[in-house]
Amino acid sequence: MGSGLTVAVFGAYGHTGRFVVAHLRERGFVPVLSGRDADKLRALASASGLDARPATVDDPASLDRALAGAAAVINCAGPFATTAAPVIEAALRAGIPYVDVAAEIEANADTFAHFTERARAAGVAVVPAMAFYGGLGDLLATAAMGDWTAADEAHIAYGLSSWHPTTGTRTAGAVSRQRRGGGRVVYSNGRLQYRHDDPPALQWPFPDPMGSRAVIGEFTMADVVTIPSHLSIPEVRTYMTVEAARDVSSPDTPAPAAVDKHGRSAQTFLVDVVVRSGGTERRAAPRGQDIYAVTAPLAVEAVDRILTGRTRTVGVASAGEIFDAPDFLRALSPHITLEPHA
């Protein structure tokens, strides 16, 4: 448990940031609220009784003040193409671990490319994409691999009942599309590739009771960065149910609306992860509610494990590399239902 340790949350007033703040408090940590909008911070601080420290990514001194005395920092503020590097720099100056919830493929790739050596030399853990997209899929694929040292393919199929995007999701998506010049990204033959054709329409055999569903193939998410960062798998492909893909692409889809006391939306998910080697496949398929809400226990569990020394490496590392994946997934049992299949 947190034992009163302070954890700075950058972007604390955002949709996911609020879930993270609430979960930190549940786990016994003391969140420090930070972010770029001083008015939103003051309002959240007034309602929660927590300390607020405004900071902007173009003012390193303000970030240093925000992280002063903190044991770790969780970055919930997108677009991460803008925020990740400055907040990581501040974490390195403070000598504290950094965790973010970035779903942006290029931003996560940048973190590995630019900070791997520096973070390792500093002895600081930097864990990008510690969220529903990127972190969860990596933990599942790593656990499914078991004693395999390599596989031919990894497939991550997202069975979302709907996808009401937050403002942050829409902003991050726009930044990613701009960086890709309107193209789309896939991970094939051991590297990221950019294409300008239409993604394939497929059927995916989700476990019962969902069953076979229409999906958008090569609907690429952050798993194509996290999984290959440490697993020898040359083909990593992700899929999205057609309904959810339609929701997130429509400008008319409203933001998530709370339906329970935890602030979760009615959205449900089933993530079907399959790794294949030769003629053998291994599978894991967790179910849960609200992709934004479930990101909070992922990020907070990561911080708790780093601060209590339950890690396997240091420097920039994905969830599956730095943590014991099966044990981490068991710790998420209050938030997801996992039924692994050999």
Q: How many Å apart are CA 299 and CA 319, to the nearest integer?
A: 10
> According to the model, what pLDDT value does residue 341 have?
54
CATH homologous superfamily for the domain 134-291: Dihydrodipicolinate Reductase; domain 2 (3.30.360.10)
pTM of the model: 0.97
What pLDDT, on a 0 to 100 scale, did the predictor assign at position 297?
98
pLDDT at position 1 is 60
Integer angstrom CA distances of residue 64 from 127, 263, 296: 19, 31, 24
Compute the half-sphere exposure of residue 37: CA atoms within 13 Å on the CB side of its CA.
Answer: 10
Residue 3: predicted pLDDT: 79
Distance between CA 140 and CA 275 in Å, rounded?
Answer: 10
Separation between Cα atoms, residue 43 and residue 227, nearest integer Å: 39
Residue at token pair 């939306």:
265
Strands (E), 46-182: 52-54, 72-75, 98-100, 125-127, 153-160
145 and 151 in contact (C-beta within 8 Å)? yes
Structure tokens at 134: 């990127």
The predicted pLDDT at position 181 comes to 87
How do the domains of the chain map onto residue ranges?
A: 6-131+295-327, 134-291
With CA atoms as reference, report the closest residue to 81 among 222, 175, 192.
Answer: 175
Domain 6-131+295-327 has CATH 3.40.50.300: no
pLDDT in tens, the chain (342 residues): 667 999 999 999 999 999 999 999 999 999 999 999 999 999 999 999 999 999 999 999 999 999 999 999 999 999 999 999 999 999 999 999 999 999 999 999 999 999 999 999 999 999 999 999 999 999 999 999 999 999 999 999 999 999 999 999 999 999 998 899 889 999 999 999 999 999 999 999 999 989 999 999 999 999 999 999 999 999 999 999 999 999 999 999 999 999 999 999 999 999 999 999 999 999 999 999 999 999 999 999 999 999 999 999 999 999 999 999 999 999 999 999 987 554
Q: Give the separation between CA 77 and CA 149, rounded to whole angstroms.
A: 35
pLDDT value at residue 342: 41
| Helix pair 38-48, 15-26: axis angle to 10 deg | 30
